[in-house]
């Protein structure tokens, strides 16, 4: 590893100033942008790729895992895009499979309707800070580097990229050895109605039986009823926020995808051809900030309730082996709250971190990481940002009574009330 350091100075033009700047357009970022805009704030949403939806579209995750409390903007998405899956009652879990292409289109239109200015191909590269505040983020755009100024910044990059750049303390992976959950390249196959030619490209593996598969199991969904098979069966030991790991993962995961497809074509899916491979290998876990409160395994297992609840879930503890062994640690949980403080870094007054990079231990993160929960956290962050601006408060001092009131007006319901 080279030890030379360079100092890099540039004059960067400001593109715009908005009340709220959201970095990252995944579940957390899109919901944060919508929630802040609904409070009357001007919002810039910066996304490094060409699409919104985060892992849900970019990595073709395309199934919403059940969280118990189907509420807020997440519920709205289901109602508007997948109404057939929505239960009448408020208290039933659903796990709808969706089209990542439709979600991508839906989110584009949604942002337009909600008056969110979305900037694609706009990748955060650095933060400009002054004392306890972020003044601007520097972003690599198709026009070169530009600064986006804002009143409150919401880091929804999934990797806490903004917070870490600004010096917020963080940790990654298992407390024992720092290993994160493995990466997976999702793909779909399509029933062609006739036997397909089986191809095993150079560099791929011939799997003889289930035990040889990367996860030691078959894991796929066929909910569309149209011959589409969504496959989640590759597994690569890698931290998606590390250069060398990602380089390895992007090649190894593709090898596995072709090898798995070949295996499936020999064992029950003889008429299925690969239809789509996600443009990037999915990242489950990278960095967690250290916030005012850290969600723990105990909270998840004991069903902790918090006065500053912002999201509720009963999604299981779900840890794909960080060593990339053929095991998955799955443990049912009854349901718990996630407190607002998990999104608040102590060192800054106008920065929130929403989505999978909140302050949580490795085990707690494995349960809170699914999309519905990230939408809920994002929505709360967006509403909190608006309150902070209206009241001139630091993020840590936002009134929970006001936050709960706004969330309720935005359709959020908490099923277990706290005292």
Ligand X SMILES: Cc1cc2nc3c(=O)[nH]c(=O)nc-3n(C[C@H](O)[C@H](O)[C@H](O)COP(=O)(O)OP(=O)(O)OC[C@H]3O[C@@H](n4cnc5c(N)ncnc54)[C@H](O)[C@@H]3O)c2cc1C
Question: Rounded to 5 degrees, what are φ and ψ at 152?
Answer: -130, 140
According to CB under 6 A, which residues from 46 to 75 bind ligand X? 46-49, 54-56, 58-59, 61, 63-65
The binder of ligand X chosen from 25, 68, 339, 345 (CB under 6 A): 25
All residues at 6 or more sequence positions from 176 whose CB lies less than 8 Å from its CB, including other chains: none
Smallest gap from residue 401 Cβ to ligand X (A): 27
In Å, how far from its chain's centre is CA 103?
14
Nearer to ligand X, 330 or 405 (CB): 330
All residues at 6 or more sequence positions from 396 whose CB lies less than 8 Å from its CB, including other chains: 292, 341, 344, 346, 349
The binder of ligand X chosen from 100, 126, 282, 291 (CB under 6 A): 282
The binder of ligand X chosen from 68, 126, 158, 382 (CB under 6 A): 158
All residues at 6 or more sequence positions from 256 whose CB lies less than 8 Å from its CB, including other chains: 185, 204, 205, 214, 233, 234, 235, 236
Smallest gap from residue 390 Cβ to ligand X (A): 25
In Å, how far from its chain's centre is CA 154?
14
Taking the CA of residue 255 as centre, how many other CA atoms within 13 Å lie in the half-sphere pointing to its CB? Answer: 15
Binding region for ligand X (CB under 6 A) out of 34-42, 155-163, 195-203, 343-351: 155-163
The binder of ligand X chosen from 213, 238, 370, 385 (CB under 6 A): 370
Cα-trace Rg, the chain: 21
Binding region for ligand X (CB under 6 A) out of 102-110, 157-165, 252-260, 292-300: 157-165
Smallest gap from residue 45 Cβ to ligand X (A): 9
Report the number of secondary-structure helices (H) and strands (E) in the chain. 10, 17
- Backbone dihedral region of 160: left (phi > 0), alpha (psi from -120 to 50 degrees) or beta? left
Nearer to ligand X, 224 or 402 (CB): 224
The binder of ligand X chosen from 184, 188, 215, 259 (CB under 6 A): 184
Nearest to 63 by CA among 383, 408, 372, 306: 372
Element (H, E) at 277: strand 272-277
Helix (H, G, I), strand (E, B) or coil at 194: coil
The tokens describing 21, both together, are 């700047």
The binder of ligand X chosen from 21, 24, 163, 214 (CB under 6 A): 24
Q: Contact letters (x/-) for ligand X, 95-134, by CB under 6 A?
A: ----------------------------xx----------
| CA end-to-end span of the chain | 53
Q: Contact letters (x/-) for ligand X, 185-224, by CB under 6 A?
A: -x--------------------------------------
Binding region for ligand X (CB under 6 A) out of 21-29, 35-43, 190-198, 206-214: 21-29
Distance CA 340, CA 377 (A): 8
Q: Contact letters (x/-) for ligand X, 313-352, by CB under 6 A?
A: ----------------------------------------
According to CB under 6 A, which residues from 219 to 278 bind ligand X? 232
How many residues bind ligand X (CB under 6 A)? The answer is: 39
Helix (H, G, I), strand (E, B) or coil at 365: helix
Nearer to ligand X, 159 or 196 (CB): 159
Distance CA 22, CA 165 (A): 15
Binding region for ligand X (CB under 6 A) out of 22-30, 249-257, 263-271, 342-350: 22-30
For helices 72-81 and 371-391, give the axis angle rounded to 10 degrees: 130
The binder of ligand X chosen from 70, 254, 295, 374 (CB under 6 A): 374
Residue 146 in the binding site for ligand X (CB under 6 A): no
For 98-132, letters b (16+ CB in 10 Å) and e give: bbbeebbebbeebbeebebbbbbebbbebbebeee
The tokens describing 264, both together, are 């499936």
Nearer to ligand X, 94 or 301 (CB): 94
Binding region for ligand X (CB under 6 A) out of 17-25, 99-107, 167-175, 333-341: 17-25
Q: List residues near ligand X by CB under 6 A.
A: 23-29, 46-49, 54-56, 58-59, 61, 63-65, 123-124, 156-159, 161, 184, 186, 232, 282-284, 355-356, 369-371, 374
């Amino acid at each position: 590893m080279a030890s030379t350091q360079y100092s890099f100075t540039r004059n960067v033009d400001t593109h715009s100033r908005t009340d709220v700047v959201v970095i990252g357009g995944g579940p957390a970022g899109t919901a944060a942008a919508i929630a802040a805009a609904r409070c009357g704030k001007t919002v810039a949403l910066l996304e490094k790729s060409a699409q919104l939806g985060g892992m849900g579209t970019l990595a073709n995750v395309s199934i919403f895992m059940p969280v118990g409390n189907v509420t807020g903007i997440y519920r709205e998405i289901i109602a508007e895009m997948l109404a057939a899956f929505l239960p009448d009652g408020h208290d039933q879990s659903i796990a709808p499979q969706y089209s990542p292409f439709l979600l991508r289109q839906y989110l584009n239109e949604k942002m337009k309707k909600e008056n969110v200015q979305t900037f694609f191909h706009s990748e955060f590269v650095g933060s400009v800070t002054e004392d306890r505040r972020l003044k601007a983020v520097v972003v690599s755009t198709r026009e070169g580097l530009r600064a986006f100024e804002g009143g409150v910044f919401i880091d929804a990059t999934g990797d806490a990229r903004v917070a870490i750049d600004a010096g917020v303390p963080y940790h990654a992976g298992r407390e024992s050895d720092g290993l994160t959950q493995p990466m997976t390249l999702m793909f779909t196959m399509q029933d062609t109605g006739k036997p397909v030619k089986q191809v095993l490209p150079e560099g791929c593996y011939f799997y003889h039986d289930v035990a040889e598969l990367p996860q030691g199991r078959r894991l796929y969904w066929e909910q569309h009823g149209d011959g589409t098979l969504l496959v989640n069966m590759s597994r690569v030991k890698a931290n998606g926020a590390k250069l060398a790991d990602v380089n390895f993962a992007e090649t190894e995961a593709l090898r596995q995808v072709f090898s798995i497809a070949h295996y499936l074509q020999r064992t029950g899916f003889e008429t299925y051809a690969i239809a789509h491979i996600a443009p990037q290998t999915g990242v489950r876990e990278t960095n967690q900030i250290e916030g005012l409160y850290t969600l723990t395994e105990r909270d998840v297992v004991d069903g902790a309730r918090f006065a500053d609840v912002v999201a509720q879930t009963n999604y299981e503890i779900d840890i794909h082996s960080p060593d990339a062994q053929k095991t998955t640690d799955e443990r049912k949980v009854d349901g718990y709250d996630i407190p607002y403080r998990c999104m608040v870094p102590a060192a800054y007054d106008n920065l929130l971190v929403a989505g999978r990079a909140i302050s949580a231990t490795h085990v707690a993160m494995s349960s809170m990481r699914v999309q519905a929960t990230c939408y809920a956290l994002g929505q709360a962050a967006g509403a909190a940002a608006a309150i902070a601006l209206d009241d001139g408060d630091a993020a840590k001092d936002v009134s929970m009574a006001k936050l709960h009131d706004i969330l309720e007006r935005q359709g959020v319901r908490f099923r277990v009330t706290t005292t």
